[in-house]
Amino acid sequence: MEALITYDEINNAILLYMKEKGFWNDKISFDLILRLINEFSQGNLEFLFKTFVYDTNFIIRLLGYYTHKVSLSHKELEDLLSQEKNKIKVTENMYKQAEKKDNCMAMKTLFEHDGSLSEILSARIRQYHLLGKIH
């Protein structure tokens, strides 16, 4: 799996292969996201989040609740969405790397998919001046 990450060309087909074969863990996620930030590979970074978070399995699970008329409390739904959003953990180091590379688009993508607590998100908005960078 390391070979796919170090391969010169990361593309959507490789990302889909990694997902389909179950080759996904926090280390791969972290290393791959840092690489995409460094390479200004915005399309692949967005594709990564859109493919791995709120995927088909999640949608089918939600449809199952709907079909079987399973009611969820506001908290249960919020927890379900939060758990899904945190499939790919957005870390402080990712923001630091995007700032170091002056990659504003990566910062925007990271922020849009960051499932951190609201206090942490507020701190990141201030620390990285995100309001001025992600319009």
CA distance 37 to 106: 6
Half-sphere exposure of 10 (CA within 13 A, CB side): 27
Enter the DSSP assignment of 41.
Answer: -
The sign of the torsion formed by the CA atoms of 13, 6, 47, 17 equals positive
CA distance 39 to 54: 25
| Residue 54 confidence (pLDDT) | 87
| Residue 128 confidence (pLDDT) | 92
Please name the residue ranges forming H helices in 1-129: 2-6, 12-20, 26-38, 42-52, 56-67, 74-85, 92-100, 104-112, 118-127
| Residue 48 confidence (pLDDT) | 86
Q: Which residues of the chain have pLDDT under 50?
A: 1-2
| pTM for the structure as a whole | 0.81
Residue 29, both tokens = 């996620």
| Residue 50 confidence (pLDDT) | 86
101's CB contacts (< 8 A; 6+ apart) are 37, 38, 40
